[in-house]
């Protein structure tokens, strides 16, 4: 055991005494994550601000009197700007109507010939929305009998333009919906007749849920994926260097010439790799947890600091992560011991990385339905267990079986690596 410690300390010292390695392995990923999230937050906030500040231009074709009245009424209700024309569109005046928080530029069009030019402008992104009323809309509404064709208002917009897309959404929700209600009220006398019943009007305790589980569901979908990927990625290059790299440089032979057991060398290297990859994932994850609120804060949404797990959940997560790291590094050790050099080592590890990634992606979409026996499936079971720890769907037997799977398969690969260390063909290409 003492010699395992000596080998492990040497491996750790090799990394920590190399400034470039420390920077590349621990500092740079953290900086990249924080920088990226910060940038994303700033960019998204700026886009949203731009959307909010944009004043949509809406052309209303063959507007019925009732709609024009409604618009004036809404505008007056809000005590906003006058309908002064500030500029013209194709010789037509443009009126400013502030409804809610949005100031609309409204063009009233009657001439059918101009409609094509308006559609052209929608296509080019110069107009945001066309609302086309059918001829005699008001009359159709007034004379409506059950069974008649319901009058249809057509909209023309450009979904590839954010302004146009948003304008349609806003006009439908804040103008046309109100207009419809007004017409309904006129027809029926009161809207209450239509409502029939309400849902949860005074019930403030409607939501009954385990808050931890709810937030676990949110994080459970993404974090196990991130953790598994980060753990593996952290160990990947270091593992290739520690086994295949040492063989390539001839420094492995120097270790093999010492009187210690070959398995001791393997375990020393494995433990060092476990520490390094765990640390790398911890820093990466820490940077994400630190950076996520930066992103959310700029967007005015929830913060990532709301993670609050019960101690038992924390323990399970820790045990699963530690044993999963053991399995990963043992797998990496087998691949890179088989390789003659670093390049070959990376090539051998890549397919395993792909498998880990695919399992990570699967874990994002599956979870609760995992049976106890499925927890035993190498790599898959423990990744699922990690997810279900977050969502509180883990069972004790499931957790134990996933841990057992990690330990048994990890130990098997570690033993295989030690066996391979005895092979002349593998170690010396003899």
| Interaction site with another protein (CB under 8 A) | 3, 6-7, 10, 13-14, 17-18, 246, 249-251, 253-261, 424-425, 427-428, 430
Indicate the residue among 49 and 340 with the shorter CB distance to another protein: 340
Indicate the residue among 242 and 346 with the shorter CB distance to another protein: 242
Indicate the residue among 51 and 428 with the shorter CB distance to another protein: 428
Indicate the residue among 124 and 423 with the shorter CB distance to another protein: 423
Name the minimum Å distance from CB 395 to another protein: 45
Name the minimum Å distance from CB 20 to another protein: 11
Name the minimum Å distance from CB 32 to another protein: 25
Decide: 272 and 8 in contact? Cβ < 8 Å: yes
Name the minimum Å distance from CB 15 to another protein: 10
Indicate the residue among 5 and 134 with the shorter CB distance to another protein: 5
Name the minimum Å distance from CB 210 to another protein: 51
Indicate the residue among 122 and 270 with the shorter CB distance to another protein: 270
Decide: 337 and 269 in contact? Cβ < 8 Å: no
Name the minimum Å distance from CB 22 to another protein: 13
Indicate the residue among 82 and 429 with the shorter CB distance to another protein: 429
Name the minimum Å distance from CB 231 to another protein: 25
């Amino acid at each position: 055991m003492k010699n395992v410690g000596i080998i492990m300390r040497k491996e750790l010292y090799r990394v920590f005494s190399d400034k470039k390695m420390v920077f590349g392995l621990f500092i740079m990923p953290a900086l990249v994550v924080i920088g990226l999230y910060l940038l994303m937050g700033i960019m998204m906030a700026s886009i949203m601000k731009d959307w909010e500040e944009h004043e949509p231009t809406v052309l209303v074709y063959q507007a019925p009197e009732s709609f024009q009245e409604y618009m004036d009424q809404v505008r007056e209700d809000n005590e906003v700007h006058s309908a002064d024309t500030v500029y013209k569109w194709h010789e037509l005046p443009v009126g400013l109507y502030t409804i809610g928080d949005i100031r609309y530029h409204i063009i009233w069009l009657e001439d059918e010939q101009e409609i094509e030019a308006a559609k052209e402008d929608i296509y080019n992104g110069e107009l945001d929305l066309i609302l086309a009323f059918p001829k005699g809309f008001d009359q159709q509404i007034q004379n409506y009998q059950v069974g008649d064709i319901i009058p249809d208002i057509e909209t023309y917009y450009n979904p590839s333009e954010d302004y146009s897309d948003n304008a349609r959404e806003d006009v439908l929700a804040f103008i046309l919906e109100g207009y419809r209600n007004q017409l309904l009220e006129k027809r029926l006398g009161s809207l209450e007749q239509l409502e029939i019943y309400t849902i949860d009007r005074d019930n403030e305790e409607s939501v009954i849920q385990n808050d931890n589980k709810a937030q676990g569901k949110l994080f459970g979908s993404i974090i196990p994926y991130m953790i598994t990927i980060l753990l593996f990625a952290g160990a990947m290059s270091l593992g290739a260097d520690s086994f295949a790299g040492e063989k390539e440089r001839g420094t492995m032979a120097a270790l093999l010439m010492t009187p210690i057991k070959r398995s001791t060398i393997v375990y020393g290297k494995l433990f060092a790799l476990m520490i390094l990859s765990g640390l790398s994932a911890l820093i990466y994850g820490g940077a994400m947890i630190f950076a996520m609120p930066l992103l959310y804060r700029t967007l005015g949404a929830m913060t990532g600091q709301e993670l609050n797990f019960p101690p038992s959940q924390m323990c399970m997560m820790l045990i699963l992560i530690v044993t999963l790291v053991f399995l990963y590094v043992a797998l990496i050790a087998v691949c890179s011991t088989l390789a003659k050099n670093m390049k070959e080592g990376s090539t051998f590890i890549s397919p395993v990385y792909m498998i880990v990634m695919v399992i990570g992606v699967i874990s994002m979409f599956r979870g609760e339905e995992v049976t106890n026996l499925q927890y035993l499936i190498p790599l898959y079971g423990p990744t699922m267990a990690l997810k279900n720890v977050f969502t509180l769907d883990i069972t004790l037997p499931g957790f134990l079986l996933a841990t057992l799977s990690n330990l048994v398969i990890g130990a098997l690969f570690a033993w295989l690596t030690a066996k391979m260390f005895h092979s002349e063909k593998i170690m010396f290409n003899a």
